[in-house]
Amino acid sequence: MFWDPTGTILAPQVAKGFELSADGKRTTLFLRKGMKWSDGSPFTADDFVFWFQDIYGEKELTPSPTPEMGGNGRIVKIDETTVAFEFDTPNFLFPRLLGGDGSVGGGQSRQQSDGLSFGSYAPARYLKQFLPKYSSAEKITAAAKAAGYPNWVQYVRFKMDWRLNTELPTVAAWKMTQPINTTTWMLERNPYFYEVDTEGNQLPYLDKIQMTLAENPEVVNLRAIAGEYDVQERFIDIAKLPVFLENAERAHYKFHVDPGFNGSDSQLVFNLAYKADTEVAKWIAVADFRRSLSIAIDRDQLNQAFWLGLGTPGSGVPSEIMPESPGKEWIAKWSEYDPAKANAMLDAIGLKKKDSEGYRLRSDNGERLRLQIDVGQTLTPTWPAQVEMIIQQWRAVGISADLKLLERSLFYTRGRNDQNQIAIVSNSGTESLFLRSGPVLPTDPADVMMGAAYAQWFVSDGARGTKPTDPALLHVYDLLRAAPSKPEAERNALAQEIWRIIANQKWQIGIVGQAPGSQGARVVSDRLENIPARVCISQHCRPPWSARPEQWFYKP
């Protein structure tokens, strides 16, 4: 499933429709008769069953189950074009998860697996040849080593990765022909794509897509300003809006601004499972320490400097127009600039001693307390400068912090290994909290900077990882586990309760949100037609797919 243009109503995609049982225990998908993979082989319910039994169900490929399958979910084939997801307990949330950007959904926003063992369906006819179950472990291991992989698991992960394996069949509009790990990423139209326009012409209109690698975000912006792209909507710096508008007519492009409803284009998140420095870990665990750092940030200054005043400063709570928002007052919770109060709170919790430069001292050895904020290189152009401004503001309350700029993959590796103390990320998508909670809570081991060990404990129901000691976080985990069994109105009430706890506990420090800073600035060539004026920029319906690129075409 995917979404309508607003990003709020489920719409057909790979499946032509769905049906949710009255008790919430069964979601039935209705597939399209005669639909094919890009290699011409049939796309049927067998591809769902194969994924569940042989990919998701293979422990070496999928050692950790996904909470989206509820721990008791299973897939049942009804007939060639009908498949059911069944659960022992009510799972009213599941249809929305199929349209989300998580481990069972994604529709056209995610296509298939990106090397992980998720996605709900997989090309059985193609992938079976690489699995020991259909051959032998010895034969597949030998093939893996011959291809340069240490074991069959890594070999199969490559074969499942639509970004790297040019032979992998897809049902998306375009099929990859030159992999992402080259300077030019190429895709060509899928001759068996299942969508047609209103006159019966098969989509997509565009035969080829070429994406080029830029050295850094500044180069992306310079090329966009010069009109070198047909479309670009990642890494565009909203602070350069006047320059973009000044050059639009000369460079033959239009500049689109798409504000989001999430509460923080930028937020600081604490690694709640951090252990490497026991003194820093001790203070991270203190709510008033986190709150004091939050109210020591001048969000209005950041909003003017990096969002041209277009954003909403606040706690990270989503816009009050969203049904899951607890209300406007919670957007401001612990987010009003008050350095005097922050100073008093830091004194009160035991950080009263300072050095000759006014920085607060550690309680264990009397040296200066230093925090480190990790920044992923190229994730957002202005994050390094935002962090530098926050570091300057924290000096007024005696807190010393350092910025650590990291290559993107290393940034995420440190997060997955709980090596970071604080990181700057976006909470895009959390306005639909049960579709994406990882940016504001340690719930997703693959998408976490807030405590991978805690996330492992959550998704495995305690079988792995580390159990949190914070009773408030344990309570939130209970609310999250209860959400799938609740109808929509009750789920919204649970989300509001969770947001109130998040805003009060300050496990994450929201900065500025409800803005176009995260994926919401688009530069589009005048040559392209069928480009929507506004698109959904949430994680579950993120661009470009929310703009329906299969319907784009060039002016004759």
User: CB neighbours (10 Å) of residue 187?
Assistant: 21
- Three-state DSSP at 267 gives strand
Domain boundary among 136, 160, 184: 160
Is the backbone peptide bond immediately before 326 cis, with ω within 30 degrees of 0?
no
- Does residue 522 sit in the same domain as residue 509? no
Q: Would residue 167 count as lying in a domain? A: no
Domain count, the chain: 3
> Could you tell me the pLDDT band of residue 109, with boundaries at 50, 70 and 90?
very low
pLDDT, tens digit, 9 for 90 and up, residues 194-211: 999 999 999 999 999 999
Instruction: Give the pLDDT score at 544.
Output: 86
The mean pLDDT of 225-229, rounded to a whole number, is 96
Judgement on whether residues 408 and 525 belong to the same structural domain of the protein:
no
Report yes or no on 438 lying in a domain: yes
| Residue 166: inside a domain | no
Please confirm whether the linkage preceding 217 is cis (ω < 30° from 0).
no
Quick check: 509 pLDDT over 70? yes
Residues 110, 3: contact at Cβ < 8 Å?
A: no
* Domain range enclosing 382: 266-513
Structure tokens at 412: 């995420």
Same domain, residue pair 411 and 449:
yes
59 and 35 co-located in one domain: yes
* CATH at 111: 3.90.76.10
Q: Say which CATH number the domain at 376 has.
A: 3.10.105.10
> Each residue of 60-71: pLDDT tens digit?
988 877 778 877
The CA distance from 100 to 540, in Å, is 5
168 lies in a domain? Answer: no
Domain match, 239 and 370 both: no
Strand pairing class (253-257; 521-525): antiparallel
Residue 327 is encoded by which pair of tokens? 């209300």
Q: Is 198 exposed, middle or buried (0-12, 13-18, 19+ CB in 10 A)?
A: exposed
End-to-end CA distance of the chain: 33
Position 433 pLDDT exceeds 50: yes
23 belongs to a structural domain = yes
The more confident residue out of 552 and 161 is: 552
Q: Is the pLDDT of residue 107 over 60?
A: no
- Is-contact 234 516, C-beta < 8 A? no
Tell me, yes or no, whether 325 and 425 share the same domain: yes
**pLDDT tens figures, 351-378:** 999 999 999 999 999 999 999 999 998 7
3-class DSSP state of 327: coil
Each residue's pLDDT tens digit, 456-467: 999 888 989 999
State whether 431 and 547 are in the same domain. Answer: no
Q: Which residues contact 493 (CB under 8 A, 6 or more apart)?
A: none
Q: What is the mean pLDDT of residues 440-459?
A: 91
pLDDT surpassing 80 at residue 127: yes
Quote the pLDDT of residue 206.
97
Structure tokens at 490: 């009750």
Task: Give 19-44 pLDDT, tens digit per residue.
Answer: 999 999 999 999 999 999 999 999 99
Residues 6+ away with beta carbon under 8 Å from 356: none
For the segment 154-170, the average pLDDT, to the nearest whole number, is: 92
415 in the same domain as 280: yes
Residue 332 in tokens: 């401001």
Mean pLDDT of the chain: 92
Q: How far apart are CA 259 and CA 213, in angstroms?
A: 26
Q: Give the residue among 127, 255, 125, 108 at the shortest CA–CA distance from 187.
A: 108
Report pTM. 0.85
Determine, yes or no, domain membership for 165.
no
Q: What's the order of all strands across the beta sheet hosting 184-189?
A: 174-178, 184-189, 208-212
Q: How many helices (H) and strands (E) does the chain have?
A: 18, 20
